[in-house]
């Protein structure tokens, strides 16, 4: 199909979609007129039931914790899938001279970038750790914290290059950390089953005061494991992509 | 105008789809897919919004303060995570396509495939 014909087919299709959408919109309550009831009920009972003042985290790691297990394994499988897709093709090998410094033919990173990246590594690690460990009290949690923690590793790459990135996050170790994060979440859920309770039942003491870091039982624990898993998964995914810059095809290499 | 957020949703969806349909580069196509998916964030958050309500965090406000729906916010979080995972995987496919076929133009890739 020619690009012009393709465009016309698309415009006709999107006009039809928009018509159906607007038709459906007519039956929706207007923006801001939330009909409930689920959000209203959860907001009313979540703090009393879980001692977590961050209700979004309570929903994610408690009320629909079963979904979040699946969500976490989507990320796990995506990281695994990336390693499979990016495996070395036939005739591909690493560029020679890796130890002498990577990308000697590319312009070097400026000192300003290296310094700025290095300065931010500590604060970003702290922030990621804080986010991953405060799911129960504030707008944070394992997913957000994990991504910020992985950003610290990317900053280390910016500052020190790929060789340093590899040294602080060896693939085998990162794989193991990711597995611990993913399995930890499942183990917290399965422990409840072993105690004769439903899967992912919140069996830990909830703490006395809602909003304390030590409150909310398994929510905080699951969030921690999710943070570990997400951080490792993103470090692996970024690492896989960076490794690609080192590869050359057999016939191209001299 | 109370339907504006819903119109924003369909607009983001439409421009993202338009970009995907007319794309001549796989990386561009993946970015357009991210735009398409972004429309779902707006939809989810718009559906859960209540006039005059605050975020569902009760650390420093009373438990009975009107707050927006936390369920759709949690779903939006799931959405973001899945998007990141899917994007990573698709970018990996794009890298392999470039390596195997030497092009990232979807039209040329279709012709190579036969």
Residue in A21, A42, A237 closest to B88 by CB: A237
What is the model's pLDDT at position A129? 93
Q: Do A54 and B59 touch (CB under 8 A)?
A: yes
ipTM score above 0.95: no
Angle between helices B70-101 and A65-85 in degrees, nearest 10:
10
Nearest CA in chain A to B9: A21
Rounded CA separation A122/A127 (Å): 9
For B49-107, what is each residue's pLDDT tens digit?
888 888 888 888 888 888 899 999 999 999 999 999 999 999 999 998 888 888 888 88
What is the sign of the dihedral through the CA atoms of A128, A133, A139 and A141?
Answer: positive
**In chain B, which residue's Cα lies nearest the Cα of A249?**
B99
- Which two structure tokens, joined as six digits, stand for A203? 């069996």
CB pairs under 8 A between A and B: 155
Contact between residue A93 and residue A253 where contact means Cβ atoms under 8 Å apart: yes
Q: How far is CA B2 from the centre of its chain?
A: 22
Burial of B98 (C-beta count, 10 Å sphere; 0-12/13-18/19+): middle
A99: closest CA of chain B, how far (Å): 24
Q: What is the nearest CA distance from A182 to chain B, expressed in angstroms?
A: 15
pLDDT for residue A187 is more than 90: yes
A25:B96 CB<8 A = no
Work out the minimum CA distance from A49 to partner chain B, whole angstroms.
12
Chain B interface disruption, residue of A32, A93, A209, most B CBs within 10 A: A32
Distance CA A85, CA A87 (A): 6
Q: Tell me the C-alpha to C-alpha distance, in Å, between residue A178 and each of A76, A111, A173, A214, A215.
A: 8, 32, 9, 24, 26
**Cα-based torsion angle of the residue sequence A243, A249, A250, A254 in order, rounded to the nearest 10 degrees:** -90
Give the tens place of pLDDT for each residue, B28-37: 999 999 999 9
To the nearest whole Å, the CA of A83 is away from the closest chain B CA by 9
* Residue located via tokens 């979440």: A185
Under the banding of pLDDT at 50, 70 and 90, the label for residue B113 is low
Instruction: List the single residue in A22, A56, A77 with the smallest CB-CB distance to B74.
Output: A56
- Which secondary-structure segment (H or E) carries A37? none
Contact at CB, B2 and A141, closer than 8 angstroms: no
Distance of residue B113 Cα from the nearest chain A Cα, in angstroms: 16
* Phi and psi torsions of A31, nearest 5°: -60, 130
Would you list the DSSP string of B68-92? Answer: --HHHHHHHHHHHHHHHHHHHHHHH
pLDDT at A251: 47
Q: How far is CA B38 from the centre of its chain?
A: 3
Select the residue from B18, B24, B56 to test the A interface by mutation, using most A Cβ atoms within 10 A.
B56
Using the predicted structure, report yes or no on whether residue A228 has a pLDDT greater than 90: yes
Q: Which of A247, A243, A188 is nearest to A216 (CA)?
A: A188
pLDDT, position A252? 45
């Amino acid at each position: 199909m020619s690009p012009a014909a393709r465009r016309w087919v698309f415009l006709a299709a999107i006009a039809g979609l928009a018509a159906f959408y607007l038709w459906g919109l007519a039956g929706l309550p207007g923006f801001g007129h939330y009909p409930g009831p689920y959000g209203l009920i959860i907001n009313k009972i979540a703090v009393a039931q879980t001692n977590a003042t961050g209700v979004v985290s309570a929903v994610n790691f408690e009320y629909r914790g079963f979904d979040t297990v699946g969500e976490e394994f989507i990320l796990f499988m995506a990281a695994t899938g990336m390693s499979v897709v990016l495996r070395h093709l036939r005739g591909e090998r690493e560029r020679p001279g890796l130890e002498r410094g990577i990308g000697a033919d590319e312009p070097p990173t400026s000192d300003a970038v290296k310094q700025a990246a290095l300065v931010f590594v500590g604060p970003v690690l702290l922030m990621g750790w804080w986010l991953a460990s405060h799911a129960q009290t504030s707008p944070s949690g394992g997913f957000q914290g994990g991504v910020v923690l992985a950003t610290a590793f990317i900053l280390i790459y910016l500052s020190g290059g790929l060789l340093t990135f590899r040294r602080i996050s060896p693939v085998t170790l990162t794989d193991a950390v990711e597995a611990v994060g993913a399995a930890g979440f499942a183990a917290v859920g399965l422990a409840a089953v072993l105690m004769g309770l439903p899967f992912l039942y919140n069996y830990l003491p909830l703490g006395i005061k809602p909003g304390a870091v030590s409150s909310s039982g398994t929510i905080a624990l699951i969030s921690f494991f999710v943070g570990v898993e997400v951080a490792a998964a993103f470090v692996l995914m970024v690492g896989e992509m960076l490794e690609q810059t080192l590869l050359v095809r057999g016939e191209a290499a001299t | 105008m109370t339907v504006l957020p819903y119109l924003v949703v369909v607009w983001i969806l439409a421009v993202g789809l338009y970009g995907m349909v007319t794309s001549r580069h796989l990386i561009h196509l993946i970015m357009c897919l991210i735009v398409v998916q972004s429309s779902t964030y707006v939809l989810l958050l718009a559906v859960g919004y209540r006039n005059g309500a605050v975020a569902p965090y009760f650390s420093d406000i009373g438990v009975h303060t009107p707050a927006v729906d936390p369920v759709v916010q949690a779903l939006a979080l799931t959405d973001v995570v899945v998007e990141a995972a899917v994007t990573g995987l698709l970018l990996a496919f794009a890298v392999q396509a470039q390596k195997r076929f030497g092009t990232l133009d979807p039209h040329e890739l279709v012709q190579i495939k036969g």
